[in-house]
């Protein structure tokens, strides 16, 4: 589920769930399987290196067969990035200016059974142009997002509570959010008034929004969402997808100004350098269970640093690469190995002879390679340059 409605705006963005979590997760430009460009001393001519020619052919074959964006690419681009639909798409209405007249504190819940067995709970504090969102993720991880204003240069802080670290950017640079104009179904062509009712003790008006102006933005919601709009505050207090499984809601709304301390970085938090990806304190229990259920052992002398089930799990180790490769070959003796002269080494659950195009995002696997950037990316010891990435295909 990706939570979305037109009351939240950042540029023309609307998806609340992806916006907040992406702001927290995409601290660096790359997460898993980062690609770095290097300058070649001269132009390469086909035929000079047969192995390199074969690698290019495999890459082109993969591009032709799997032209859709992979989850890795999706993490590098906002979920709301625009696409063209037909030759004459209808002009999209611009969202109204951000609301700056709201002052409240509230509990917040997001539920998406397809991606998480447990709802994500959190808090939302709003004081005019300022806001703070707190999320408690399954597995004990918690994260916060402070927005100090809606002007382009106002600061936005992502708080990583388990590490006591934070990142700093600006409202213009970050997929921040704020409540918009309050008009129901503002990004849809059709709005059906379903009548007045009560929700968590507050008077609301229920709306069914369909025929989105940007179908891709609402694809996971089935192109239809239902909103419960608070009569007094003129903001949605609940949103449901068409299938009724995924939802987002506010509860225990307290009107009034929150404490100013909520919009400051907590004392004792260390600022994370630009481009550094925060290192996780531990692998969440549900992810460890997923990996073990796939029959993959976790190398004991490696440290989990980042990852999710959709993009894979990255570990870093100071052990020699060959030692780690040998360990996995012994532990996964029935699995096949892909190896090339460019440093790629992947042990995968499948028949021997798979090419790189067949492996990428297609088979459960473990890759082991040298990555000299790991210490800088994750603030690790300088000798932790052996990278292990585990990908479980569900």
Domain assignment present for 344 = yes
Residue 61 lies in a domain: no
- How many whole angstroms separate alpha carbon 57 and alpha carbon 187? 43
pLDDT band at 276 (very low <50, low <70, confident <90, very high): low
pLDDT of 222 > 80? The answer is no
Closest CA to 240 of 255, 228, 256, 253: 228
Shared domain for 113 and 140, answered yes or no, is yes
Of the candidates 159, 115, 156, 167, which has an alpha carbon nearest to the alpha carbon of residue 141?
159
Boundaries of domain holding 349? 285-391
Length of the chain in terms of residues written: 394
Dump pLDDT digits (tens) for 349-378.
999 988 887 787 688 999 999 999 888 888
CA 162 from chain centre, in angstroms, equals 18
Percent of the chain with pLDDT over 90: 38
Left, alpha or beta for 29 (phi > 0: left; psi -120 to 50: alpha)?
Answer: alpha
In a domain? residue 248: yes
- Report the chain's mean pLDDT, rounded to a whole number: 75
Tell me whether residue 77 is in a domain. no
Local confidence band at 311 (pLDDT 50, 70, 90 cut-offs): confident
Confidence of residue 182 (pLDDT cuts 50, 70, 90): low
Q: Which helix (H) or strand (E) holds 165?
A: strand 165-170
Closest CA to 7 of 200, 238, 168: 238
Domain boundary among 271, 299, 330: 271
Q: Going by DSSP bridges, is the β-strand pair 386-391/365-370 parallel, antiparallel, or unpaired?
A: antiparallel
User: Across residues 18-30, what is the average pLDDT?
Assistant: 38
Question: Is there a single domain that holds both residue 235 and residue 117?
Answer: yes
Q: Are residues 249 and 320 in the same domain?
A: no
354 in a structural domain: yes
Domain count, the chain: 2
pLDDT for the residue 186: 80
Q: Is 52 a residue whose pLDDT tops 50? A: no
* pLDDT per position as a tens digit, 333-351: 999 999 988 888 999 999 9
Cα 109 to Cα 138: distance, rounded to the nearest angstrom: 12
Q: Compute the distance between CA of residue 177 and CA of residue 171 in angstroms, rounded to an integer.
A: 9
123 against 79, higher pLDDT: 123
Whether 81 maps to a domain, the answer reads no
Model pTM? 0.58
- According to the 3-state scheme, what is the secondary structure of 88-154? CCCCCCCCCCCCCCCEEEEEEEEECCCCCCCCEEEEEEEECCEEEEEEECCCCCEEEEEECCCCCCC
Whether 4 contacts 14, CB under 8 Å: yes
Q: Categorise residue 322: left if φ over 0, alpha if ψ from -120 to 50, beta otherwise.
A: alpha
Are residues 204 and 133 part of one domain?
A: yes
Of the listed ranges 34-48, 171-185, 259-273, the one predicted with least confidence: 34-48
pLDDT over threshold 90, residue 107: yes
| Residue finishing a domain among 271, 302, 333 | 271
Q: Which pLDDT value is given to residue 124?
A: 95
Note whether 114 and 262 are same-domain residues: yes
267 shares its domain with 311? no
Q: Indicate the pLDDT class of residue 274, thresholds 50, 70 and 90.
A: low
Q: What is the mean pLDDT of residues 88-99?
A: 52
- The two counts, helices (H) then strands (E), for the chain are 7, 18
User: CA 203: distance to chain centroid?
Assistant: 34
* Backbone torsions φ then ψ of 143, nearest 5 degrees: -150, 150
Of 271, 296, 331, the residue that ends a domain is 271
pLDDT at 62: 40
Predicted confidence band of residue 43 (pLDDT cuts 50, 70, 90): very low
- From the list 394, 386, 393, the residue with the least C-alpha distance to 368 is 386
Which of 67-71, 168-172, 233-237, 250-254 is the least confident region?
A: 67-71
Mean pLDDT of 87-116: 71
- For the segment 285-291, the average pLDDT, to the nearest whole number, is 89
Q: Cα separations (Å) of 313 from 266, 279, 287, 359? A: 29, 12, 9, 16
244 and 387 housed in the same domain = no
CATH (domain of 151): 2.50.20.10
Stretch 125-142: mean pLDDT, rounded? 84
Q: Which has more confidence, 52 or 384?
A: 384
Residues 163 and 300 grouped into a single domain: no
What pairing do the DSSP bridges indicate for beta strands 345-348 and 365-370? antiparallel
Report the candidate in 328, 279, 313 with the shortest Cα–Cα distance to residue 393.
313
What is the CB-side half-sphere exposure of residue 16 using CA atoms within 13 A? 25
Looking at per-residue pLDDT, the higher value among 227 and 96 belongs to 227
Residues 323, 328, 333, 336: is their CA dihedral positive or negative? negative
Residue 39 lies in a domain: no
Residues 298 and 266 in one domain: no
At residue 14 the predicted structure's pLDDT band, cuts being 50, 70 and 90, is very low
**Which residues neighbour 48 within 8 Å (Cβ) at sequence distance 6 or greater?**
none
Residues 315 and 222 in one domain: no
Residue 179 is classified by DSSP as B
pLDDT classification of 57: cutoffs 50, 70, 90: low
Q: Are residues 334 and 223 in the same domain?
A: no
pLDDT higher than 50, residue 235 = yes
Q: Which residue has the higher pLDDT, 100 or 13?
A: 100
Kindly state whether residue 1 falls inside one of the protein's structural domains: no
Regarding predicted confidence, which is higher, 312 or 296?
296
The verdict on 312 and 237 lying in the same domain is no
């Amino acid at each position: 589920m990706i939570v979305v409605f037109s009351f939240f705006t950042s540029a023309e963005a609307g998806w609340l769930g992806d916006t907040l979590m992406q702001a927290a997760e995409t601290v660096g430009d790359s997460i898993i399987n980062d690609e770095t460009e290097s300058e070649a001393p001269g132009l390469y001519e086909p035929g000079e290196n047969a192995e390199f020619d074969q690698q290019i052919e495999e890459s082109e074959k993969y591009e032709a067969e799997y032209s859709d964006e992979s989850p890795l690419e999706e993490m590098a681009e906002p979920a709301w990035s625009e696409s063209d639909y037909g030759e004459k798409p209808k002009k999209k209405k611009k969202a109204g200016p951000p609301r700056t007249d709201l002052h409240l504190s509230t509990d917040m819940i997001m539920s998406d059974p397809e991606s998480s067995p447990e709802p994500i709970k959190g808090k939302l504090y709003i004081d005019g142009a300022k806001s703070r969102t707190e999320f408690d993720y399954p597995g004990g991880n918690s994260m916060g997002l402070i927005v100090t204003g809606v002007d382009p240069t106002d600061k936005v802080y992502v708080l990583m509570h388990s590490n006591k670290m934070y990142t700093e950017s600006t409202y213009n640079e970050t997929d921040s959010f704020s409540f918009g104009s309050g008009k129901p179904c503002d990004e849809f062509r059709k709005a059906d008034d379903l009548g007045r009712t009560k929700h968590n003790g507050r008077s609301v008006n229920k709306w069914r929004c369909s025929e989105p102006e940007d179908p891709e933005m609402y694809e996971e919601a089935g192109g239809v969402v239902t909103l419960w709009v608070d009569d007094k505050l003129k903001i949605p207090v609940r949103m449901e997808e068409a299938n009724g499984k995924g939802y987002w809601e506010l509860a225990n709304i307290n009107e009034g100004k929150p404490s100013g301390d909520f919009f400051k970085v907590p004392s004792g938090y260390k600022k994370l350098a630009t481009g550094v990806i925060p290192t996780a304190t531990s692998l969440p229990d549900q992810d460890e269970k997923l990996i073990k259920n796939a029959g993959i052992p976790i190398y004991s002398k490696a440290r989990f640093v980042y990852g999710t089930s959709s993009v894979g799990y990255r570990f870093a180790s100071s052990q020699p690469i060959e030692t780690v490769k040998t360990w996995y070959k012994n532990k996964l003796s029935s699995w096949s190995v892909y190896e090339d002269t460019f440093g790629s080494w992947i042990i995968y659950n499948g028949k021997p002879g798979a090419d790189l195009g067949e492996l990428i995002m297609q088979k459960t696997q473990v890759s082991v390679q040298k990555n000299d950037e790991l210490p800088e990316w994750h603030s690790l010891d300088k000798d932790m340059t052996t990278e292990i990435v585990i990908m479980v295909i569900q």
